[in-house]
Structures are given as structure tokens and as C-alpha cells.
Amino acid sequence: MDSAAFASLMIFSLSAAFTPGPNNVMLTSSGATFGFRRTLPHILGIAVGFAGLAVAGGFGLAGLVKAVPQLHLALKFFGIVFLLYLAWKIGTATRATATGSSRPLSFLQAAAFQWINPKGVTLLASAIVAYSTGPDNIVTDLMVMVPIFVLATLSSACTWCLFGTMIGQFLKQDSALRRFNIAMATLLLVSMVPIFTG
């Protein structure tokens, strides 16, 4: 990969990672509700899950999905169901307390979600097709791409979570936090529109 392609991949990865989508909406809400430290497993789960998806995509997952359309439909279905569950979870989240049952997404939940996240899967497939130099160089290409994807994802995830944490400072009343979380749940539902229209 030459320097121009590398720079282009960096710009693509950062712009894709920072644009609003399911992960960023969930991180903002989690930051506001639980704080940055308690959301760290969620952040790390996104990075690891996305890295795993990138490696799998590079080694043929995209081709498998194209060859077996039913697999794509199944992933899409599970993605929609999980996003609906997450929207409900965000919308009903309460302020974190020592005895409360409300908790942020776990590392494993966040990592697993990357495999059915419509925005992530689509962007990753596009990036691998656009920036790989051919099937013979896939291992070399992935050694460049995966760290870039992970750095962009971690930068974005931390930023959106910190944004939520700052917003959380102004949501001292439980009713204000509840309205904020309902708004975040609504945004998560709106982020699903491209699944149905695309």
C-alpha cells in the first residue's frame, strides 16, 4: 500500500468511525448514564469485535455472504432484533447506583454486536474492497488495515463516550437523564432506517 492509499484509508476510517451510528449513539448514552470508566469494557469490545470482523472480512466473509444471500438476510435480521433490544435497553436505562440493576453493555456483548452491526459490516466490506491490493496481498494489507481500523474505532469510541459523560454532568435530575436516554434510543432506531431503505 503506497503512502497516498494509506492516507486515504486513514481519512476514510476516521470519518466512518466518527459519523453517528449505532455504536456512537450507545456510547454517548452509556457515558452519560454510567460514566467513562464503567463504559470502558464496551469501548474495548467494539474495538476487538471490529478488528475480528476486519480479519474475517479480509479472509472471505464478504465473499461468503455474497455467495449465500440467506446468510446476509440472517445477519440483517439478527442485527435489527439486537438494535431493537439495545434501543429498549437505552430508553429504559436508569442512573447507575450501587444497588441498581442497570448496567452498561459488556465487553462480549459489544464485541459480538460488531458482527451484526449494519453500518460497521457495510463500511468494512467497502474498505476491504477499495483498499486491498488483491487476494495475493491480503495478509499484508490486513496488517496495515486492522491497526488503522482499531485506532480509528478507539478514538471515536472514547470521544463519543466522553461527550456523553460531559452531557451527563448536566443531567442531574433523573427525569432529565430519562429524557436524554429516550432521545438516544430514538436516534438508535432512526439509525436503522438505512437497513430498510438500502
Range of lowest pLDDT (2-11, 28-37, 129-138, 163-172): 129-138
The residue behind cell 495475493 is 136
Residue holding cell 465473499? 63
State what percent of residues in the chain have pLDDT above 90: 26
Burial of 73 (0-12, 13-18, 19+ CB in 10 A): exposed
**CB-CB neighbours of 106 under 10 Å:** 12
User: Which residues are CB-neighbours of 156 under 8 A, at least 6 positions away?
Assistant: 14, 17, 18, 23, 24
Confidence of residue 189 (pLDDT cuts 50, 70, 90): confident
Q: Is the pTM value of this prediction over 0.85?
A: no
